Chain A
Amino acid sequence: MTPLLEVRDLRVGFPTGRGAIHPVDGVSFTLDRGRTLAVVGESGSGKSLTALALLRLVPSPGVIEPGSMVRLGDQVLTELDERAMRAVRGGRIGMVFQDPMTSLNPVFTAGDQIAEAVRAHRKVTAREARDRALALLEEVGMPAPERRLDEYPHQLSGGMRQRVMIAIALAAEPELLIADEPTTALDVTVQAQILELLDALRAKRGMAVLLITHDLGVVAGRADDVAVMYAGQIVESAPTAQLFAAPAHPYTQGLFASIPTLHGERGRLTPIPGVVPPPDQWPSGCRFAPRCAFRFEKSSEPPPLLPAGPGQLARCWLHAEQPA
């Protein structure tokens, strides 16, 4: 079976005074129906821009470079005209944003906004759209959905708003749901509920979910596969269990070392020294090398993704030495 979503060599360029920079620089992955892929990375790693590029909504003056390919089912999105692309947005791909405080229109009720999303892609009457909105609110587990239908965003809690946002994203029965940091702006107790909801909806509808997060804790137990991004590239990809059991890239290892745990040894957290360099200062060799404790001579050349374990790839020369 061919995967639902195939992304090959996705590059997003922004022109600057000193030539173009590429905050997303050659990203490739696939995602099957009914599965969840988590894209993990720090701020500035290019993970959110990757999500926007799938919808061809790269903020101006950025462009998706020729040679990039995004295929969803039978449509090659990178070749569609703008009109056809609009039908894909919200139609075949739904998107949930980070901050439900600002991603809902403040002047419309929750019901109106869901109904609007229904009518944007389906020819239905206002009455049918409203019934559909109510059904969607029930589906996303909104408490007292009839009442919420006529409430404005400012009357809802953060978790409720995110449920409304998810209902909007689901309005046209998308095959792929992109969730960009869907729980970052929420209380910890609500985070788990929203993640469980997304997982339940994926299972029920057979959707594919692309979960973008900076939080490895969000990934555990919810994603089937993980792609770790650093400086515009995927530096490691693996099935979730494999990644958690044996992280192969020094950056991924560093991420795990910097997570506080409730159990295990109570040592000091080990932060990764330094920050993600901005796109115009990426090293020509391995992009993680300046922050890496394991760098060696070979790090001055750009490493390819190398096999590091079962289903696991890591963009690190350390894995070139091991017999595959």
Chain B
Amino acid sequence: MAWSKPVGRAGLLLLGALALVAVFGPMALPDPAAQGDLLAESLRPPGEGHLFGTDQLSRDVFSRVASGLRLSLTLGVLAAMLAVTLGTLIGLVAGTWGGAIDAVLMRLVDALLAIPRLFVLLLALAVWDRIPLPALVLLLGLTGWYGTSRLVRGEARRLHREEFVRAAEALGSGRWRIAFRHLLPNVAGPVLVAATLGIGDVMLLEAGLSFLGLGVRPPTPSLGGMIQESRSVFATAPWTSIFPGVAIVLAVLAVNLVGDALREALDPRSA
């Protein structure tokens, strides 16, 4: 679907390349935590032996970027999946049932949207030092479903007025069956787009949190954390922050390009 548009093709190729680095990089490259000779090997510029150079602790920047990318993509995909699943479920229930259930769920979403996501995350991470990865996924997922639920709810309300839903009712379908057999496949397109764009959001959030020293803690390599750690040597050894920075930008760009291409491919009005 996304492949048919040049933008989508570029996004998919870029994403594929980054995924390859993220999956296989850490296997082929030196241990991202391995420290070499601190005097001889520290802050070596990009070149032979170290493609992206080394950082203050003489660790290989390329393998740290690969590991950070792996973490970032894993977190992004898992948290976005959780968020979109939750949002779809809640939106579908609200949109199919309507009435009081719809009103209660959507007012809940209104209330949650009034609390800034970053604020919730900062609070949770300040309280929970050294948060394990699954908990971070949970935290990012549980704070990211509101938009999807509104989107799905709106689509479900619109579709619920269609005659094929009347026909399904007239043939004996109950509400759950209508929601999951008849409406869900019809909202799959927008949901897929929301999921893809959600991955980019989570990756940026994670990088931001790690940069602030929250989220993933050293020595686990994370792209945001790497930029933070190398702030002091930026003037003399810019490669220590440029490569992780570029990795974040490229990864989020790739995901967003794919998301936009999906949106265009799935939107009948732009076809």
Task: Check if A89 sits within 8 Å of B163, measured CB to CB.
Answer: no
- 7 sample A-B contacts, Cβ–Cβ < 8 Å, listed by A number: A91-B172, A94-B171, A95-B167, A102-B164, A104-B164, A120-B171, A120-B172
Is A193 engaged at the interface, CB distance under 8 Å to the other chain? no
Shortest distance between the CB of B178 and any CB in chain A (Å): 10
Task: Check if A103 sits within 8 Å of B171, measured CB to CB.
Answer: no
Task: Check if A105 sits within 8 Å of B164, measured CB to CB.
Answer: yes
Task: Check if B163 sits within 8 Å of A168, measured CB to CB.
Answer: no
Task: Check if B172 sits within 8 Å of A104, measured CB to CB.
Answer: no
Among A94, A99, A106, max chain B CB count under 10 A is at: A106
Task: Check if B171 sits within 8 Å of A169, measured CB to CB.
Answer: yes
Closest to B170 in A: A95
Interchain CB contact (< 8 A) of B171 among A60, A95, A98, A108: A95
Interchain CB contact (< 8 A) of A97 among B163, B174, B181, B186: B163
Interchain CB contact (< 8 A) of B170 among A87, A90, A98, A171: A90
CB neighbours of A90 from chain B (8 A)? 170-173
Is A165 engaged at the interface, CB distance under 8 Å to the other chain? yes
Closest to A120 in B: B172
Cα distance A94–B169 in the bound complex, in angstroms: 11
Interface set of B (CB-CB < 8 Å, partner A): 99, 162-164, 166-174, 177, 181-182, 185-186, 188
Task: Check if A107 sits within 8 Å of B171, measured CB to CB.
Answer: no
Closest to B268 in A: A106
Task: Check if A103 sits within 8 Å of B163, measured CB to CB.
Answer: yes
Interchain CB contact (< 8 A) of A117 among B169, B171, B186: B171
Chain A at the B interface: SS class: loop
Cα distance A60–B175 in the bound complex, in angstroms: 15
Shortest distance between the CB of B57 and any CB in chain A (Å): 54
Is A57 engaged at the interface, CB distance under 8 Å to the other chain? yes
Task: Check if B167 sits within 8 Å of A165, measured CB to CB.
Answer: yes
Cα distance A104–B164 in the bound complex, in angstroms: 5
Shortest distance between the CB of B262 and any CB in chain A (Å): 16
Shortest distance between the CB of B118 and any CB in chain A (Å): 37
CB neighbours of B162 from chain A (8 A)? 102
CB neighbours of A86 from chain B (8 A)? 172-174
* Besides A106-B164, A107-B185, A120-B173, 15 new A-B residue pairs in contact (Cβ under 8 A), listed by A number: A55-B169, A86-B172, A86-B173, A89-B169, A90-B172, A91-B172, A95-B167, A95-B170, A102-B163, A103-B163, A103-B166, A108-B185, A116-B181, A120-B172, A120-B177
Task: Check if A55 sits within 8 Å of B170, measured CB to CB.
Answer: yes
Task: Check if A88 sits within 8 Å of B172, measured CB to CB.
Answer: yes
CB neighbours of B185 from chain A (8 A)? 105, 107-108
Cα distance A103–B174 in the bound complex, in angstroms: 17
